[in-house]
Structure 1
Amino acid sequence: MAPWDGSEYRKVNGLQHWLADRAMSELDLDGVHSLLDVGCGDGRITATIADRLPGATVIGIDPSPRMVSVAPSSDAVSFLVGDVCSMTFDGAFDVVVSFNALHWVLDQHGALTRIASALRRPGRALLVLVCAGERPSLEHTATRVAGAESWRRYFTDFSVPFAHPTPTAWAEMVSDCGLTASDTVVDDLSWDFVSTDAFAAWCTVGFGAWTERLPSDCIGPFVADVIRAYEATTGSSQILRFLQLRARLEKASTVGRSH
């Protein structure tokens, strides 16, 4: 996974904050003494949660050092550089949250297993991620453009850097990883960036897995090609559409499904 730049992310993160705020409105924190935010990004959402939990242990973890470096310093919250699939918080948290980060984790099974392990009983999780649907995603479009004749020389041995599971497949993984779903919702959402330039700026920050392979003078043209190709999906050069899966989970009493 390409490291995200926290300083650049802060300039374009309105969508991510809107999505997190939307999910947090449903977050019940009564009786919570410890919380982990997986894929905390620049830490703004984690700090907001910590403000609602005075005296609690609140930790944000993110694989990008450049994201964690811009996280707000506070006695109320701690930030760590780390990967969800290798974290070792065993039975440490009442709640685990993740807002629009897990679809960048290829090992979904490993991520869910470690999240389940991090929860104490009766712990719960609120996880939000992009899932698969019939409509091509922006990330799928970027990968298709990367395979075009004008770009493919830069993408030899390129591996898809994202995971958009179907809701059904993801629900099966949840059960296999020591969690039970109390509620799962899939929303078809859209975000208007107001201008093509603003959409391109957001893509430039989020396309690190693609653009890290390109010469600097090719990044802008590549992003422009992706937006033009994606316009066939949305009918606009400034609108993003995506399916968002939002799941409330609980730590299961036993791991795995009965057969």
Structure 2
Amino acid sequence: MSSSGAWDPAAYLRFAGERARPFLDLVSRVDVPSPGTVVDLGCGDGSTTALLADRWPAARVTGVDSSPEMLAAAPARPGLEFRLGDVRDWRAREPVDVLVCNAVLHWVPGHDRLLASWAEQLAPGGALAVQVPGNFRAPTHALLAALCRSPAWAQRLADVAPSPSAVLEPTGYLDVLTGAGLTADVWETTYLHVLSGEDPVLAWVRSTVLRPVLARLDGPAAAEFTAEYAAALRSAYPRRPDGSTVLPFRRLFAVGVRAGVSQA
């Protein structure tokens, strides 16, 4: 994950169930029966990495993340190893049978080149599985970008405004994976997350896209910015009569498989 400001595992895990669902949908499309080596790049707190170990108990499963705070919350159990590191610098020690990168690459500019590099590190029959949020034009991000670039905040925040170009469209990922010699399966899903509580959409983004923005501001300025953004979010995502709030969330998925038969 990105190292811009400290990650807060408790805040991120408030929506652990909703955040895990795309990971499970991604991994369900990985058809590698008995991998020997499984790597989870940008593993966060390791809770989803543990799911990989559950699915492939005979594999050596390694999670890599750049956040010491997240790794400190990772589970300690046999068959799991966690390493501190930046996904941009990661290199496989041996060919990898399953390489997973979930909800990370939108923090990495130019990650199409990184994906091509990872594809080269797959074993024959190995799979590269990637999921990224596809909601950079949704109100959560568009409103935040507009506020960061507004006259009151642009001098401090314009360069950290979320950009629609942070991820490719599905055809872009198809082109990257097939260009790297993989057989590709690419799709998208929009989840309707039904949230509860006060300003739940703000709570959702606070631990993700809002985090690097608030890291630029001191306490009073952060409170002022958050209040203005929260009001905009309440208008864009109104509370329903039953008290819940619906957050549509588009996700993009890509699984690429290298030709050959796994030796695992």
Q: Same fold (TM over 0.5)?
A: yes
Query: For the Cα contact (< 8 Å) 1:84–1:114, is it kept in 2?
Result: no
Which residue, out of 57, 60, 80, partners 1:57? Answer: 60
What does 1:23-34 correspond to in 2, within 5 Å?
23-34=26-37
What are the superposed Cα offsets for residues 26-58 of structure 1, whole Å, 9 maximum, x if unpaired?
A: 444522111111211110011122123223110
CA contact (8 A) 1:63 1:83 kept: yes
**Cα contact 2:116–2:176 (8 A) shared by 1:** no
Q: How many residues align?
A: 251
RMSD: 2.7
1:99 maps onto 2:102 in alignment: yes
- Residues 26 and 152 from structure 1, CA distance in 2 versus in 1: closer, same or farther, beyond 3 angstroms? same
Q: CA deviation at 1:106?
A: 1.6
For residues 190 and 220 of structure 1, the distance between their equivalents in structure 2, rounded to whole angstroms, comes to 28
Q: Which residue does 2:13 correspond to in 1? A: 10
Letter of the structure 2 residue corresponding to residue 241 of structure 1: P
Bigger CA drift: 231-240 or 68-77? 231-240
1:177 to partner: Cα distance? 3.6
- CA change 1:136–1:12 in 2 (3 A) is closer
Superposed, 1:175-186 pairs within 5 Å as 175-181=178-184, 183-186=185-188
Is the CA contact (8 Å cut-off) linking 1:108 and 1:163 kept in structure 2? no
In the TM superposition, structure 1's runs of 4+ consecutive aligned residues that sit over 4 Å from their partners are 159-162, 230-237
CA distance in 2 between counterparts of 1:11 and 1:232 reads 23
TM-score of the two chains, using structure 1 as the length reference: 0.83
Residue 252 of structure 2, aligned match among 210, 222, 245: 245
Uncovered stretches (5+) of structure 2, i.e. residues with no partner: none
**Cα distance per residue 1:179-238 (max 9 Å; x no partner):** 331x21111222122234333222222122111001123334433433443456555594
Secondary structure of the residue that 2:166 maps to in structure 1? coil
1:30 aligned counterpart, secondary structure: coil
Identity of aligned residues (%): 26
Write the distance in 1 (CA, Å) between the matches of 2:145 and 2:78: 42
TM-score of the two chains, using structure 2 as the length reference: 0.82
3-state SS, counterpart of residue 207 of structure 2: helix
Change in Cα spacing, 1:27 to 1:225, as seen in structure 2 (3 Å) is: farther
Contact 1:16–1:100 (CA under 8 A) maintained in structure 2: no
**Partner in structure 1 of residue 92 of structure 2:** 89
**CA contact 1:204–1:223 (8 Å) conserved in 2:** no
8 A Cα contact 1:85 1:110, kept in partner: no
Q: Which whole-Å CA distance do the structure 2 matches of 1:213 and 1:158 have between them? A: 9
Cα distance between partner residues in 1 of 2:135 and 2:11 = 27
